[in-house]
Structure 1
Amino acid sequence: MHVALVQSPARTEASDDAEQRGRRALEEAAGTGADLVVFPELSFTPFYPRLPASERAASVLDLAEPVPGPTTEAMAEKAAELGLVVVFNLMERDGDQTFDTSPVIDADGTLLGRTRMMHITAYEHFHEQGYYAPGDTGAPVYDTAVGRLGVAICYDRHYPEYLRALALQEAEIVAVPQAGTVGEWPDGMYEAELRVAALQHGFFTALANRAGQEGDMRFVGRSFVTDPLGRVVAQAEAEEPTVLCTSVDLARCSEAPARQLFLQHRRPNQYKRGAVAPDHAE
């Protein structure tokens, strides 16, 4: 199976050609032989949370669209035409709330579902609590044409319990739409974090990042894929838009130490806060 990571360029302004950009990116990915295509966070729009919501003239609701909606439908049509499983990301409008959402589209164009980012941060350049409600979709794993796929949207990758929930549902690959900047974390931390997660859980990870300058943010790029042993098997260059394609064998998940050992030997009844082993109880 071939995975393509679309390392999209930063967007300085919103435009009306998001659907066209998505279609072109899928065509380029299909040209590399891809079966699964993963896009970064806010795949076709500016990174809106760069500014506090209070500084925007437009309402946050006006920046969002429903799922299904125009972009989802355009991507689904193209996915079916090209036979691709697609994970992308947008700001979703649902009633009077907005979510950071990744629709998951199967190779026949079926919208299998949507994952909403569960954990919402707030710090310099990432004013996300003014834009998104906390996700309410849980941690779904989808049966796709390429295998069992989970999604961890950007900030959610920091939470081991979220990634563990995907592993316990036998996810074989976890797509990570990200908007990560230069110097945001110590050098190499993006890779280190998911390398450990992959080793501990026995799945592949596929992180697609934005690239380049957007206002006062500089997105680092360096999209990558890790295997179930925690090794980086492919990585894009820093800060340059590109499509990275690599081959992965999901059958290797069943042979990983996490599937052979770690997950089998868990003792969740002992992990509760304040739990005391019987031989140490007073």
Structure 2
Amino acid sequence: MRIALVQQKAGTDKSENVERGLAALEKAADNGASLVCYAELAFERFHPQRPAGPAPWKLAESVPGPTTDAFARAAGKRGVVAVINLFERDGERTFDCSPVIDADGALLGKTRMVHITDYAWFHEKGYYHPGDTGAAVYKTKAGRVGVAICYDRHYPEYMRALALEGAELVVVPQAG
């Protein structure tokens, strides 16, 4: 299996960042990738490096929503699995979220980061609620894929839970 790992520097224009991410998916598919993975907050600047304030809240979006819809169309058109990451809003709560999209364009589900860190230059507790989706594993065209977002990777029991759920591959979106 060929896996494409996309790491792009996000500018201030989220729609431009999404377009660059979609172009990277196209290029990855052209080069034979069957799974395309994106870094944590690939389509917006890493706002948790600053204490929480009102400005970043406008970047949060629902899942499904405009970004997941765009990647679902592209993944379905090119026949690749995509694991993206974004700042999700669900009612009054926000999450560090990785939607998983299958090669037919179906949104299989989303993983929300469970372990939220807070230390110098990482003010995540001011932005994110702890995830409530558990250690989900998604049956994709590329295999059984689990997701451990950023700090979750430091917890052996989280990784063990993914293994027990049958993960053949674990994607770890992180900003660092």
Q: TM-score range by the shorter chain?
A: over 0.9
2:121 equivalent in structure 1: 125
Matching of residues 180-191 of structure 1 within 5 Å: 180=176
- Matched to 1:42, the amino acid is L
Counterpart pick for 2:145 among 131, 141, 149: 149
TM-score between the two structures when normalised by the length of structure 1: 0.61
- CA-to-partner distance for each residue in 1:97-139, whole Å, 9 max, x for gaps? 1000000000000000000000000011110000000000000
1:53-132 to 2 correspondences below 5 Å: 53-54=52-53, 57-58=54-55, 60-132=56-128
Change (3 A) 1:13 1:19: closer
**How far does the alpha carbon of each residue in 1:16-44 deviate from its partner, in whole angstroms, 9 at most, with x for none?**
32331221010111122100011000011
User: What is the TM-score when the length of structure 2 is the normalising length?
Assistant: 0.96
Q: Which moved more, 1:19-28 or 1:118-127?
A: 19-28
| 1:106-255 mapped onto 2 (5 Å cutoff) | 106-180=102-176
Question: 2:164 and 2:14 mapped to 1: Cα distance?
Answer: 40
Partner of 1:48: 47
Aligned to 1:6: 6
| Partner Cα separation in structure 2 for residue 126 and residue 154 of structure 1 | 12
- Tell me the equivalent position of 2:34: 35
Q: Percent identity?
A: 62
Distance 1:15 1:141 in 2: 28
Residue type of the alignment partner of 1:46: R
- 2:149–2:174 contact (8 Å) kept in structure 1: yes
Distance in 1, matches of 2:45 and 2:130, equals 21
- Describe the SS at the equivalent of 2:87: strand
1:232 alignment partner in structure 2: none
Deviations 1:27-71 (A, max 9, x none): 1111221000110000111001011013xx52x432200000000
Other structure's SS at 1:113 match: strand
Unaligned runs of 5+ in 1: 181-282
Structure 1, residues 191-243: CA drift from partner, whole Å, max 9, x if none?
xxxxxxxxxxxxxxxxxxxxxxxxxxxxxxxxxxxxxxxxxxxxxxxxxxxxx
- Secondary structure at the residue paired with 1:17? helix
Larger radius of gyration: 1
Q: Secondary structure of the residue that 2:122 maps to in structure 1? A: coil
Say if 2:86 and 2:97, in contact at 8 Å, map to a contact too. Answer: yes
Structure 2: give runs of 5+ residues left out of the alignment. Answer: none
Count of matched residue pairs: 176
Deviation at 1:12, TM superposition (A): 4.5
Q: 1:120·1:133 contact (CA, 8 Å) conserved in 2?
A: yes
State the alpha-carbon separation in 1 of the partners of residues 164 and 112 from structure 2. Answer: 19
CA distance in 1, matches of 2:42, 2:57: 18
Structure-2 residue corresponding to 1:20 = 19
